[in-house]
Amino acid sequence: MAGCPVKLLDSPVTVQSAPLLGQNSDEVLGTVLGLGTKELAELREQRIIA
C-alpha cells in the first residue's frame, strides 16, 4: 500500500486500507435510511441487498 506522498513531520498520516465492498452496508443503510436489523434481514431474504 502506498504511503502519503507528502512528508509532514508534525502531521503524521495514518495509512488505512479502504473498506471491502459491503463491509459497512448495515451501518450506512441504518444511518442514512434509518433501517433496523429486522428490515435489513428482510431485504436480504428478498435478495434486494447482499
Question: Has residue 31 been placed in a domain?
Answer: yes
> What is the number of structural domains in the chain?
1
DSSP-assigned letters across all residues of 15-50: --PPPPTTTTHHHHHHHHS---HHHHHHHHHTTS--
Q: What is the pLDDT of residue 30?
A: 94
Q: Which domain holds residue 48?
A: 22-50
Question: Has residue 40 been placed in a domain?
Answer: yes
What is the rounded radius of gyration, in angstroms, for the C-alpha atoms of the chain? 18
**In the chain, what's the furthest Cα-to-Cα distance?**
51
Question: Has residue 42 been placed in a domain?
Answer: yes
Q: What's the Cα-to-Cα distance from 32 to each of 35, 36, 38, rounded to whole Å? A: 8, 11, 16
Question: Has residue 38 been placed in a domain?
Answer: yes
pLDDT values of the chain reduced to their tens digit, one per residue, 50 residues: 577 777 777 877 788 899 899 899 999 999 999 999 999 999 999 999 98
Q: What is the pLDDT of residue 1?
A: 57
How far does Cα 21 stand from its chain's mean position?
Answer: 8
